[in-house]
Amino acid sequence: MRRSRNTVLSVISAGVFLAILYMLNLNRAGNGMLISIMQKSAIFALVAVSMNLLNGFTGLFSLGQAGFMSIGAYTTAILLIPVQSLDGVYYMNGINPGIRALKVFLSALPPWFQSVYPFVALIIGALFAAVIASIVGVAVLRLKSDYLAIATLGLSEIIRALFSSPQLDGITNGSYGLNKIPAFPKMFGGLVPPIITPFIVSAVCITLIVLLIRSSYGRAFMAIREDEIAAEAMGISLFKHKSMSFIISSFFSALAGGMLAMYMRSIEAKTFSITLTYDILLIVVIGGIGSVTGSVLGAFLVTASKEWWLRFFDQPLELFGWDVPLFRTGFRMVIFSILLMMVVLIYRRGLMGTNEFSWDRIFGRFKWKRKKVQGGGS
Amino acid sequence: MNGIVLKTEHLTMQFGGVVAVDDLNIEIPQGHITALIGPNGAGKTTAFNVITGGYMPTNGRVVFHDKVIGENHPRSKMKKIYNGSDRTTFHHQVVNTPDKITRLGMARTFQNIRLFKELSVFENVLIAKHCRIKAGMLSATFRLNHVEERTMREQTQELLKTVGLADLAREKASSLPYGKQRRLEIARALATSPSLLLLDEPAAGMNPKETEELAQFIKDIKDSFNLTVFLIEHHMNLVMDISDKIYVLDYGKTIAMGTPKEVQNDPAVIRAYLGVEDE
């Protein structure tokens, strides 16, 4: 009974969220800011969850997320820039003739293909990143803890440097970056409007990750996190499971990277610097290492407070004729950092710790409070 | 199969200049409980680690059910120190990682308990079943193996019932009392469906009553799971009570072997344990 109640509550809240999104879609003129923040949050939620799969559930401290995101972003962008815009984008060095020929060929395919093509492009980008991860993983996954972090950080910088190198001008447009990337496509023939697409894609991907975590393989990942030696003694192949986790995490990071390219409409190698990885790490840590719902929650909270709630700190403020000092551009980040420190000090293990959101806990909390009140009265 | 489950031939493990295990020859017959005893630092745990694939031996061979699972021959600078009589017998190198050896049917516990601390008792045992999974990652993700998954869960529940931990299934592993943690570790090893169970000091830190219970428990699981048991132990009462055969190690060398009674009266063993009288 409790289980069915929880299911009903989950379906209702998902429905409410979807209804809000559709409402925003209808009134998108006045809500541009809110929509774009929520889209960014949804994309970051997916990256954070995929990073959590690796860092929180498998216990591999990797900092290569930005690198894999850039692989996905660049691949998706190159595949998606319309043929007629190519000359405008590659105005400095021209485009590699092979890629142009491929794109001309693809643009001649029938309309049904064109409608799924953006998603195909996303998946191709993700698969490409997964292949890179499987090759790199052989070398990198021998390392442990800090060393793995440094190696993956280096890897992500190498990828970034490669993308902006002049040798790849014909493909990645070097340091000029790519622009004129088409925005999000609609899904299911317009049933899902373009604005909502990133939410649906993120939700589907996060669901897949959760299903994986809850399967036998996910449990094996957690065993590796808890104790590598014991896990190996229980017949869990460390190399196989670690690379599995690494590849899947890279796959979904790259997919989110592709969505980020659609979201930003223009990308350059600088977008995917170390700071991006740190932003995501921040979300994971704030949400709770080892909690999927924590990562999702963290993505929305961190993005919203960074881009929206704290905005007013950046404007000069006058209170009763007194010009409040410090309220200048950039002050918001100071406040943001202070808030972060406070959150980390109060919630030592992130907002959710290693727990997942559950209705039972919420109701349990109410019950506990009620009991406590009764106890106090008697 | 000829009745021998595990055999080591001239097994030697050397760390730099220290010979931790020196020319160890063990034969463990099917269905027996064999014990490996010796003073602290005698090389017992190292022997276990070599057998289960944690280290590659410096010399010698480990044979499990007539299959060579670990083999090495003395090489380079090790050759100068190792002077076993058969040092040229082994010419191949066979290396197996611990997980492969576990899948062949050899399970072990650890001297310092190594449970998956943050996970529940149930999950601890369920994870050990993972090594026998047939479904691939994708089919497991999409729950195409739900029959297999259900069987795994049922078997886990059953196993927990057998070892008497069923009512603690939802507890976090680290919250269990010490004795139960030991028991859980054995249960987890059993979940990999082994034919040979290696116990590394299962009675460490237990009081006499718990030790007695443990002895009975080991005998019980040996019969009900059709196991062969190989254990390291310090508690002499336990060892003398349950073992069929005992090997005594001291400074890596086998100084005695035989039935409990033979070993008990062996002057070399008494010397190793009690020291030599000064004259």
In tens, the pLDDT along A85-97 reads 888 888 888 888 8
Mean pLDDT of B31-41: 88
Phi/psi-derived region of residue A117, left when phi > 0, alpha when psi is between -120 and 50, beta in every other case: alpha
Report how far residue A59's alpha carbon sits from residue A53's, in angstroms, rounded to the nearest whole number.
8
Q: Is residue A378 a part of any domain in this protein?
A: no
Q: Is residue A257 a part of any domain in this protein?
A: yes
Q: Determine, for residues B140 and A215 on separate chains, whether the beta-carbon distance falls below 8 Å.
A: yes
State the Cα torsion A300-A301-A303-A305 to the nearest 10°: 150
pLDDT-based confidence at residue B10 (cuts at 50, 70, 90): confident
Asked if residue A245 has pLDDT above 90, the reply is yes
pLDDT tens digits, A353-365: 777 887 777 777 7
For chain A, what is the mean pLDDT?
87
Under 8 Å between Cβ of A43 and A199: no
pLDDT tens digits, A323-339: 777 777 778 888 888 88
Q: Determine, for residues A230 and B108 on separate chains, whether the beta-carbon distance falls below 8 Å.
A: no
A-contacting residues in B 142-181 (Cβ below 8 Å): 142-143, 145, 149, 152
**Is the CB of residue B129 less than 8 Å away from at least one CB of chain A?**
yes
Asked if residue B212 has pLDDT above 80, the reply is yes
Q: Is residue A277 a part of any domain in this protein?
A: no
What pLDDT does residue B107 have? 92
Q: Is residue A8 a part of any domain in this protein?
A: no
* B196-200 and B106-108 strand pairing: parallel
Edge-first strand listing for the sheet containing B106-108? B67-72, B59-64, B4-15, B18-29, B253-258, B245-250, B33-37, B228-232, B196-200, B106-108
What pLDDT does residue A311 have? 75
Report how far residue A289's alpha carbon sits from residue A285's, in angstroms, rounded to the nearest whole number.
6
Structural domain boundaries enclosing A206: 35-272
Taking CA atoms, what residue in A is nearest to B111? Answer: A230
The Cα-based distances of A111 to A105, A108, A116, A117, A140 in angstroms read: 13, 9, 9, 9, 43
Phi/psi-derived region of residue B258, left when phi > 0, alpha when psi is between -120 and 50, beta in every other case: left
Q: Is residue A177 a part of any domain in this protein?
A: yes
Neighbouring CB atoms inside 10 A of A112's CB total 9
Chain A: closest CA distance from residue B122 (Å) = 11
Report how far residue A339's alpha carbon sits from residue A343's, in angstroms, rounded to the nearest whole number.
6
B-contacting residues in A 203-242 (Cβ below 8 Å): 208, 211-212, 215-217, 219-220, 222-223, 226-227, 229-238
B131 contacts in chain A (CB < 8 Å): 234-236
**CB–CB contacts below 8 A, A to B:** 101
Under 8 Å between Cβ of B199 and B229: yes
For chain B, what is the mean pLDDT?
85
Asked if residue A56 has pLDDT above 70, the reply is yes
CA atoms within 13 A on the CB side of B196: 26
B152 contacts in chain A (CB < 8 Å): 216
Greater model confidence, A41 or A172: A41
What pLDDT does residue B135 have? 86
Neighbouring CB atoms inside 10 A of B274's CB total 8
Give residues with Cβ within 8 angstroms of A147, minimum separation 6. none
Q: Between the ranges A307-311, A374-378, B185-189, where is the mean pLDDT highest?
A: B185-189
Q: Is residue A374 a part of any domain in this protein?
A: no
Going from the N-terminus, what domains does chain B have, and what CATH number goes with each?
1-105+194-279 (3.40.50.300), 114-193 (no CATH)
Report how far residue A129's alpha carbon sits from residue A67's, in angstroms, rounded to the nearest whole number.
9
Chain B: closest CA distance from residue A223 (Å) = 6
ipTM: 0.88
Q: How many domains does chain A have?
A: 1
What pLDDT does residue B230 have? 92
State the Cα torsion A225-A294-A47-A118 to the nearest 10°: 130
Q: Is residue A284 a part of any domain in this protein?
A: no
pLDDT tens digits, A155-210: 999 999 999 888 888 888 888 888 888 888 888 877 888 888 999 999 999 999 99
Q: Is residue A136 a part of any domain in this protein?
A: yes
Asked if residue B87 has pLDDT above 80, the reply is no
Asked if residue A48 has pLDDT above 90, the reply is yes
